[in-house]
A = this chain, B = another copy of it.
Amino acid sequence: MDNEEIKEIILGMGAKARAAAHALATLDSKTKNNILRSMAIGLREHEDEILRANLLDLQAGEENGLTSAMLDRLRLDPVRLEAIASGVEEVADLPDPVGEVLEEWTRPNGVHIQQLRVPIGVIGIIYESRPNVTSDAAVLCLKSGNATILRGGSEAIHSNKALAAALQSGGEKAGLPVNAIQLIPFTDRQSVSVMAGMDQWLDVIIPRGGKGLIETVVSLARMPVIKHYDGICHTYVDRAADIEMAVSLADDAKTQKPGVCNALETLLVHATVAEDFLPKMAEVFAEKGVEMRGCKKTIGILVDRVQPAAAEDWDAEYLDLVIAIKVVESMSEAIDHINTHSSRHSDCIVTADQERAESFISRIDSACVFHNVSTRFSDGGEFGFGAEIGISTDKLHARGPMALRELTSYQYRIRGTGQTRTLNATT
Contacts and interface: CB of A to CB of B under 8 A. Distances in A.
Number of copies: 2
A367 B414 contact: no
B396 A120 contact: yes
Given A121-B365, A412-B367, A420 B224 contact: no
A203 B373 contact: no
A190 interface: no
Contacts of A382: 107, 111, 421, 425-427
B395 A204 contact: yes
A36 B422 CA distance: 33
Nearest to A257: B421
Interface stretch (A68-76, A168-176, A241-249): A241-249
B367 A420 contact: no
B418 A245 contact: yes
Given A397-B397, A421-B252, A373 B411 contact: no
Interface residues of A, number: 75
Interface in A344-377: 357, 361-363, 365-374, 376-377
What is the interface of chain A mostly: helix, strand, loop, or mixed? mixed
B222 A219 contact: yes
B374 A25 contact: no
Contacts of A415: 357, 370-373
A384 B381 CA distance: 38
B372 A421 contact: no
A412 B224 contact: no
A188 interface: no
B413 A361 contact: yes
Contacts of A362: 25-26
8 shortest interchain CB distances as A-B pairs = A252-B420, A373-B416, A381-B427, A397-B397, A395-B409, A245-B418, A396-B397, A376-B421
